[in-house]
Amino acid sequence: MQITYKKLWKLLIDRDMSKQQLKEVAGISSASIAKLGKGENITTDVLLKICDALDCQIEDILETVKNSEDEK
């Protein structure tokens, strides 16, 4: 399984917010934004900062998906 942040990007679009604005409001680094954009692992601390900044729950910004290797 892997984590996808598509829900986060949709939430930003719905709120008319850019990644740069998220970075500033949540107080996270450019490296964290880059990792999110690539779908890489990120610390729960960063995820909680995003949730706090957007006033949402963690399930509102990420979801788990099966990758093709899991099906074999």
Give all domains of the chain, ordered by start, each with its CATH number: 2-71 (1.10.260.40)
Strand partners, 63: 4
Q: Is residue 33 predicted with pLDDT exceeding 80?
A: yes
Q: Is residue 49 predicted with pLDDT exceeding 70?
A: yes
Average pLDDT over residues 53-60: 96
Residue among 36, 31, 44, 35 at smallest CA distance from 11: 36
> What is this structure's pTM?
0.87
Q: Which residue has the higher pLDDT, 72 or 69?
A: 69
Average pLDDT over residues 35-60: 95
Average pLDDT over residues 9-24: 97
Q: Return the structure tokens found at 32.
A: 């964290």
